[in-house]
Structure 1
Amino acid sequence: MRRSLCILLVGLAANVSQAGIMYYDQGPILPGGNIQAVTDTGQAPTRLVIGRSEFGVDSMISLQMTRFNHSGSNGQALLVCHAASGDNNLHLVYRPAANAGILSRPVTALPYGVNLATSRIGQDDSFFSLTYRDYRDRANGQYSIWRLNVSVDQALAPNYAPPTSFGDPRLQLIVDSPSGGDPQLVQGHGHTWSPDGTRIAYNHMWRNVDGTYLSSLRVKSVVSGVPGDPSSDMDVRLYDRPGGNQYYEWSPVSDQILNQFSDGPGIQAFYADRPGVRTVILTMRTTETKTQVVEERALQPRWRPDGLKIGVIYTKFTTTKKTGAVTGVKFPGVISPSGWPVTTLGSFQGGDHPLGWAP
């Protein structure tokens, strides 16, 4: 079984203050790439924030930048995961001074299987959330979402003691979803939080009475520090669809929740206060000539803090009709909330996924 280490990288961008700086992982998702910063106009050169070599030999999955700078960490933070390292917990990793090496502090010291790819930070940096899979019970596939009511600043404090069990009062159970051994009901539990942290939107795989498997986006109200009621269906189903959805991203200024969907593929929006309403932001764009077919995609949306732009990864694949040869390019980019066109960013090709923005 592969075990993993989830890490929060801090102190990466203390000299950046404008909202027009986007961070992204140069990729691929495994073993991970350099962490880059680029202006959303595309005019300035891409800046290396942290090199892949600083993480050593482990594979790295980068997830999300913190929203704000923190004095205890000399800048912003990046939530990342180290695969196959023998540990599966959250850590705070930071530079104590400019050009210094990276240091690590534990945020959790929990047993078993944290699902790394769906760990998140609250939009105001006041808490963490993670998906947990109990690897001891593979037959039932027990999945749950937990909220750790500890802020980034608190976790950086010298006297901070990380939770060592799920009985710690700072850990709050939000959603619990056993699969009952049905592989179609295994939960990925991708999720995202409202700006004030009082609501969570999450993906839920379930089976209808007619036997159809569906993927739903649900929204649940959460009171900080108060245990949820995971056995109830008191949350709101915004939308049901066959197949999977991923990369949920709640707007920092409204009830709009972005989502990358697979058939299209493209980016759609749901609305926490308007169940059943869906807006397609964009889908794959195809153009064809006598000699070639060009397919353009914008994937993995990440809101800018003012809600006026959306960071994406832009891909363009060209197929030559005569030979069938396919060439592709990939760039970080931005779109408006209305969709196409994409403004490509960066001074070179590359980019696996956006990580967030400067404050």
Structure 2
Amino acid sequence: MSSPKLFTPLTLGKLELPNRIVISPMCQYSADGEGNMTHWHQMHLGHLALSGAGLLVIEAASVAPEGRITPGDVGLYSDANEHAMAQTLAAVREHSPMPIGVQLGHAGRKASCRAPWEGGEQLGLDEGGWETVAPSAVAYQAGQRAPREMSLDDIKALRASFVESAQRAERLGLDLIELHAAHGYLLHEFLSPLSNQREDAYGGSLENRMRLILEIFDDVREVFPAEKPVGIRISGSDWVEGGWDLEQSVALAKALDARGCSFIDCSGGGLDPRQTLNVGPSYQVPFARRMKQEVEMAVIAVGLITEPQQAEGIVFSGEADAVALARGMLYNPRWPWHAAATLGATVHAPKQYLRSQPHQLKGLFG
């Protein structure tokens, strides 16, 4: 009996994943206030790394202090950040062979906020908040401080920050980098005409609005080892009239594909509170389906993928090469085990847990 497609290997660049289940980067808002990982991250990433998934991607690590969504966001912009992440990775790698990547990003005008469990509102400058930056001085929503429009020198410094963080990722031995250009954060803000009202080489036409992402991809690709994949997460649409949409996403994907991008992770929304969308199972998979028709690089689907048969259907039908789970993995950190049991596949488990295999599922753990 052949293995379910979900549990067949997938190659990203020269990195081979044992299966097509990806653990999405998920912000924990639990760093120490300076962007340094804490014991929480060892616990969080540690148990996810025992799940049997094919790839674990560390939550969005900001490339600059002002790029953090909250004061509790992880950073990869300082020696202290790098040291703290190294300690976390050492603990996780001691007990798991799972490939580990990192998402690099900058929150732009959506930075300087409270943690979600504290309401998520923008922090005042007298409350520990900071000045935010964006392509244009347009606030995310009414009542917020407007961000400062980035100068060309700011853009140059931003590019240098991505390079430095990528170099730190390589020193840490991370297997993959995902650039975060989704969910209304800075790189997405440059893409969308709703947030980018510049009149220079980084604004106006689609070519100009894509310019920064393409430059940053090239910068990161140059310093990160060629055998290791560099990919991107985008929002396929703003879901707001006149905003970023699927056709523009396809144009960006083709430009990245031509540059040797290893994968594209197709999410959606997050740029504008006026967005209208119908949330339901697989609601963002159509973005991935279209990308599969347009590009050679691997395509990862997201969007309320919660059931094993649902995930298998997505990859078996060719709608995407892999699926990425976020909240579903938090709710059920052994999701890949249960998916393998449901679909008749085998999955990796640590030797300490081998005895947990149910009697009727002999052969589940490979």
The reply to whether TM is greater than 0.5 is: no
Q: Name the structure with the higher strand share.
A: 1
TM-score in terms of structure 1 length = 0.31
Q: Name the structure with the higher helix share.
A: 2
TM-score in terms of structure 2 length = 0.31
